[in-house]
């Protein structure tokens, strides 16, 4: 037995089977065991939250110490920001409920988080102009519904012609429902098959290198 | 360079500038256009409206700063409706920043001053719970086996509402707002399939198409789709806010996008047809 | 009257720095980008420690000594950075993967498979003509979209049978167009919030 691979595979199987049995049976022993597993899972996921930060420390700490890259100062700033949040969060003992932590969150994280994802709006406009072309029949299909939905989503058009909003609602009815239900069934089957393969040890990618 | 070639190669900076102007003009001079409420938002509103006073809801703040501009206004409107109807809410966060959204949302709702709500009796916030679906299953399975305090460290047994609930059967409705596909699906799996709880969900508009099959099959009783859904909720609950204001901005920006698409396509086809 | 609140000023300047990428890559955006990554990681650490305290340490303090195993597993996660003992992280990962898969597939079969098929197997003829047309379109959409993803049988995409996957591709393209239309609204819906913040909270030129 290779304790480096076989024991983890066994753990995966046992934990997964308890979760599945909890769904299909009403045995109190299974329910109680699964409750423990769930609670452990929450704590382990919490431990896993630090992995990204450790990686950032390794990468940017190296850049900061070597100072060979042009943007090494930014790496230092990144680590400083990380430390700032940790110090303020843990220093008050109140974590995310402290006034100071909320202050720096609303000053730094909130505006950046909100803007980083939303500034893609500019690229959507440019991309639509450059790429959304009815070059052939199939591209025209995508083009038609995209344009009709954008029209239906633009309040000024349905305000003038209410039928455009109903057309948009209709597109989301049979057309979107039909195609996406087919996709959903396919994805569902795929996910279940992959899940079962992982539980029985046929898929071992999550174990990493040999 | 022919006119058509010029029209297919408008510089990126010009387009970006036009977009910025299209956002600024309606923000400075709102049009106040009428709103047409979508059927899925109406279904959300009706589902909550049908809840008798005193019903207990489980509400997940499953979004952070990225989703706040779209879902925040909808969250505020949803809470207004729930507090107006004297529904009791157990709030949790499956998103890492969800606990940071909570004070922002509550500053907009002001449940104590607006509705006489009392923390601990009418609503409780559990804080962020790591684990995604594991957290959902944990809260719905046996809350007190998982958590012993609320987000501020107050013992759950000292909070009447938290002491009253232990598992899924104690919740009359499960509600979530999220920007994550995993969370959106996760609640369907856990709240509906596993624990058979009525469920309504809100998400970004671009996720609506993939979540529609759940709405069609009755697993989701209502769906708030992004900024449009948030505007619908503000309209239905008669609490106008940023989402309704955004309707005017959407009018200008999306109209600009349509004009750009039209220019791009006409120029492309004229070029192709040899109209140089 | 421009706001005098330093928090608002910091937020506004960072918003403008992050937006500047729309025009071209620049040092201001890089500064905003690195700030974002740093604060996000810091926040993760804070919330991680809080969750460990609330859902792990609290149980240990209540006398559930078995939670020592959980803490050990949690620490073993960080063994992945060790050259020799990296394999230790497989134990907690195996637990997380098993838990995650078990929790999701048990309900996934019901939600994504059974109920979706049940919904499709409803009568095609409705009380109104439009309702019947909608049901037929939906039914055709589901069957053809599914057939588009069958690759194990070679003949599926050829000759007469090939029409199913072809129509399925058309239905998927129609649906993706709708998804694109909604994506445009999503992005603009997000950015309008930032513009409202700049005009209302920072520059204070709108109510």
Which residue is closest to B225 within chain A, CA to CA? A153
Residue B141 and residue B26 share a domain: no
What is the reported pLDDT for B32? 81
Q: What is the mean pLDDT of chain B?
A: 94
Residue B22 and residue B126 share a domain: no
CB atoms C193 and B16 under 8 Å: no
H or E, element range at C124 = none
Among A177, A192, A169, which Cα is nearest to C145's? A177
- Distance, CA of C88 to CA of B168 (rounded, Å): 36
Average pLDDT (C161-184) is 93
- Distance, CA of B114 to CA of B99 (rounded, Å): 22
Burial C14-50 (b: 16+ CB within 10 A, else e): bbbbbbbbbeeeeebbbbbbbbbbbbbbbbbbbbbbb
Residue A210 lies in a domain: no
Residues 81-140 of A with CB under 8 A from C: 81-86, 89-90, 95-96, 101, 103-125, 128, 132, 138
DSSP, collapsed to helix, strand or coil, labels residue B201 as strand
C158 touches chain B (CB under 8 A): no
- Distance, CA of C28 to CA of A173 (rounded, Å): 45
Are B135 and B188 in contact, with CB atoms under 8 Å apart? no
C101 touches chain B (CB under 8 A): no
Residue A181 and residue A168 share a domain: yes
What is the reported pLDDT for B276? 47
Residue A66 and residue A38 share a domain: no
- Residue-wise pLDDT for C132-155, tens only, equals 999 999 999 999 999 998 888 888
Residue B160 and residue B76 share a domain: yes
B254 touches chain A (CB under 8 A): yes
pLDDT for residue B254 is more than 50:
yes
Q: CA angle, B23 as apex, B22 and B27 as ends, to 5°?
A: 120
- Distance, CA of B112 to CA of B106 (rounded, Å): 10
Residue B66 and residue B17 share a domain: no
- Distance, CA of A180 to CA of A177 (rounded, Å): 5
- Residue-wise pLDDT for B13-52, tens only, equals 899 889 989 999 998 888 888 889 999 999 999 999 999 9
Average pLDDT (A14-34) is 93
Average pLDDT (C99-120) is 92
Enumerate residues 6+ apart whose C-beta is below 8 A from B110: none
State pTM to two decimals. Answer: 0.94
ipTM here = 0.92
Average pLDDT (A156-175) is 93
Structural domain span for residue A37: 6-48
Residue A160 lies in a domain: yes
Residue B233 and residue B129 share a domain: yes
- Residue-wise pLDDT for A76-98, tens only, equals 999 999 999 999 999 989 999 99
Strands B173-178 and B88-93, by their bridges, are unpaired
CB atoms C116 and B217 under 8 Å: yes
H or E, element range at C24 = none
- Distance, CA of B41 to CA of B253 (rounded, Å): 23
pLDDT for residue B94 is more than 70:
yes
- Which chain A positions have a beta carbon within 8 Å of B229's beta carbon? none
Residue B132 and residue B49 share a domain: yes
pLDDT for residue A143 is more than 50:
yes
What is the reported pLDDT for A210? 62
Percentage of residues of chain B with pLDDT beyond 90? 82
Domain positions in chain C are 122-207
CA pseudo-torsion sign A67, A70, A73, A78:
negative
Sheet holding B123-128, edge to edge: B123-128, B88-93, B56-62, B173-178, B199-203, B223-225
Which residue is closest to B253 within chain C, CA to CA? C188
Using pLDDT thresholds of 50, 70 and 90, give the confidence band for residue B272. confident
The total number of structural domains in chain A stands at: 3
* Chain A partners (3+ C-beta pairs within 8 A): B, C
- DSSP state string for A90-152: HHTS-GGGSHHHHHHIIIIIHHHHHHHHHTHHHHHHHHHHHH----SHHHHHHHHHHHHHHHH
- Distance, CA of C51 to CA of C49 (rounded, Å): 5
What is the reported pLDDT for A1? 78
CB atoms C191 and B99 under 8 Å: no
Instruction: Please report which residue ranges of C53-155 form alpha helices under DSSP H.
Output: 58-61, 67-76, 90-108, 115-120, 129-148
Residue A117: CA count within 13 A, CB half-sphere: 21
Residue A205 lies in a domain: no
Q: CA angle, B103 as apex, B99 and B104 as ends, to 5°?
A: 105
Residue B168 and residue B139 share a domain: yes
Residue B150 and residue B266 share a domain: no
Residue B250 tokens read as 């959407």
Are C178 and A180 in contact, with CB atoms under 8 Å apart? no
Q: What is the mean pLDDT of chain A?
A: 93
Torsion of CA C182, C187, C188, C189, to 10 degrees: 80
Residue A42 tokens read as 């929450």
Using pLDDT thresholds of 50, 70 and 90, give the confidence band for residue B230. very high
The total number of structural domains in chain B stands at: 2
Angle between helices B226-236 and B68-84 (to 10 degrees): 30
- Residue-wise pLDDT for B70-84, tens only, equals 999 999 999 999 999
Residue A126 and residue A114 share a domain: no
Are B178 and B203 in contact, with CB atoms under 8 Å apart? yes
The minimum CA-CA distance between B52 and chain A, rounded to whole Å, is: 30
Residue B23 and residue B43 share a domain: no
Residue B140 and residue B14 share a domain: no
Query: What CATH number has the domain bearing residue B227?
Result: 3.40.50
Residue B79 and residue B211 share a domain: yes
CB atoms C108 and A179 under 8 Å: no
Are C16 and C195 in contact, with CB atoms under 8 Å apart? no
Residue B161 and residue B61 share a domain: yes
Residue A44 and residue A13 share a domain: yes
Only one residue has tokens 């409206």, namely: B49
Residues 113-152 of B with CB under 8 A from A: 127-132, 134-135, 137-138, 141-142, 145-146, 151-152
CB atoms C206 and B28 under 8 Å: yes
Average pLDDT (B125-138) is 96
The full 3-state SS of B78-110, as one line of letters, equals: HHHHHHHCCCEEEEEECCCCHHHHHHHHHHHHC
Are C198 and B221 in contact, with CB atoms under 8 Å apart? no
Structural domain span for residue B260: 3-30+249-272
What is the reported pLDDT for B33? 81
pLDDT for residue B243 is more than 50:
yes
Using pLDDT thresholds of 50, 70 and 90, give the confidence band for residue C162. confident
| DSSP conformation class of B190 | I
Residue A74 and residue A20 share a domain: no
- Residue-wise pLDDT for C19-34, tens only, equals 998 878 899 999 999 9
Q: How far is CA B235 from CA B35, B228, B248, C188, in A?
A: 8, 11, 14, 20
The minimum CA-CA distance between B271 and chain C, rounded to whole Å, is: 25
Average pLDDT (B188-215) is 96
- Which chain A positions have a beta carbon within 8 Å of C100's beta carbon? 41
Q: What is the mean pLDDT of chain C?
A: 93
From B128, B130, B134, residue closest to C103, measured CB to CB: B134
- Distance, CA of C59 to CA of C74 (rounded, Å): 15
């Amino acid at each position: 037995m290779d304790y480096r691979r076989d024991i983890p595979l066994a753990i995966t199987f046992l934990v997964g089977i308890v979760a599945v049995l909890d769904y299909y049976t009403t045995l109190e022993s299974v329910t109680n065991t699964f409750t423990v597993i769930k609670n452990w899972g929450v704590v382990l996921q919490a431990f896993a939250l630090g992995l990204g930060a450790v990686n950032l420390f390794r990468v940017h700490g190296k850049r900061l110490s070597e100072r060979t890259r042009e943007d090494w100062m930014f790496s230092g700033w990144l680590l400083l920001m990380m430390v700032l949040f940790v110090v303020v969060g843990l220093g008050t003992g109140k974590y995310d409920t402290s006034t100071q932590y909320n202050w720096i969150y609303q000053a730094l994280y909130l505006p950046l988080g909100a803007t980083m994802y939303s500034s893609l709006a500019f690229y959507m406009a440019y991309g639509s102009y450059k790429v959304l072309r009815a070059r052939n029949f199939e591209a025209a299909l995508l083009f038609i519904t995209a344009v009709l939905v954008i029209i239906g989503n633009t309040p000024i058009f349905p305000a003038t012609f209410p039928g455009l909003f109903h057309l948009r609602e209709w597109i989301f009815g049979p057309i979107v429902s039909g195609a996406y239900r087919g996709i959903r069934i396919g994805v569902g089957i795929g996910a279940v098959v992959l899940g079962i393969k992982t539980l029985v040890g046929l898929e071992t990618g999550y174990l990493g290198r040999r | 360079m022919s006119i058509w070639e010029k029209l297919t190669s408008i510089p990126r900076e010009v387009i970006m500038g036009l977009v910025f102007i299209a956002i600024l003009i309606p923000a400075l001079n709102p049009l106040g256009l009428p709103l047409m409420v979508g059927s899925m938002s109406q279904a959300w509103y009706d589902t909550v409206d049908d809840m008798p006073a005193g019903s207990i809801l489980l509400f997940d703040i499953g979004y952070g700063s990225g989703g706040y501009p779209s879902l925040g206004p909808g969250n505020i409107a949803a809470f207004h409706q729930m507090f107006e109807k004297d529904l009791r809410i157990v709030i949790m966060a499956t998103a890492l920043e969800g606990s940071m959204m909570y004070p922002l949302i509550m500053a907009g709702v002001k449940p104590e001053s607006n509705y006489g709500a009392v923390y601990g009796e009418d609503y409780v916030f559990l804080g962020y719970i790591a684990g995604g679906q594991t957290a959902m299953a944990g809260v719905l399975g046996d809350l007190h086996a998982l958590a012993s305090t609320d987000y501020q460290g107050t013992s759950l047994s000292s909070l009447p509402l938290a002491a009253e609930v232990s598992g899924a059967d104690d919740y009359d409705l499960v509600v979530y707002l999220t920007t994550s596909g995993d969370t959106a699906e996760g609640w369907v799996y856990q709240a509906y399939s596993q624990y058979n709880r009525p469920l309504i969900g809100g998400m970004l508009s671009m996720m609506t198409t993939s979540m529609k099959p759940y709405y069609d099959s009755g697993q989701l009783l209502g769906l708030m789709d992004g900024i449009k859904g948030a505007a619908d909720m503000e309209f239905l609950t008669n609490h106008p806010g940023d989402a309704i204001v955004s309707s005017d901005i959407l009018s200008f920006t999306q109209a600009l996008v349509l004009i750009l698409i039209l220019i791009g396509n006409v120029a492309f086809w004229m070029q192709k047809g040899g109209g140089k | 009257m421009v706001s005098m609140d330093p928090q608002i000023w910091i937020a506004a300047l960072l918003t403008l720095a992050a937006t500047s990428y729309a025009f071209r890559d620049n040092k201001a955006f890089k500064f905003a980008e690195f700030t974002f990554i740093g604060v996000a990681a810091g926040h993760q650490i804070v919330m991680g420690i809080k969750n460990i305290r609330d859902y792990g340490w609290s149980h240990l303090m209540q006398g559930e000594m078995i939670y020592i195993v959980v803490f050990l597993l949690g620490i073993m996660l960080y063994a992945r950075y060790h050259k020799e003992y990296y394999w230790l992280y497989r134990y907690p990962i195996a637990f997380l993967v098993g838990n995650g898969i078990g929790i999701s597939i048990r309900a996934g079969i019901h939600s994504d498979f059974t109920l979706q098929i049940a919904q499709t197997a409803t009568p095609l003829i409705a009380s109104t003509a439009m309702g019947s047309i909608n049901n037929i379109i939906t039914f055709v959409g589901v069957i053809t979209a599914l057939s588009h993803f069958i690759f194990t049988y070679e003949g599926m995409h050829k000759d007469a049978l090939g029409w199913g996957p072809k129509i399925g591709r058309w239905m998927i393209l129609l649906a993706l167009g709708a998804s694109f239309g909604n994506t445009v609204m999503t992005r603009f819906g997000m950015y309008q919030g930032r513009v409202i913040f700049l005009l209302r909270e920072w520059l204070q030129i709108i109510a």
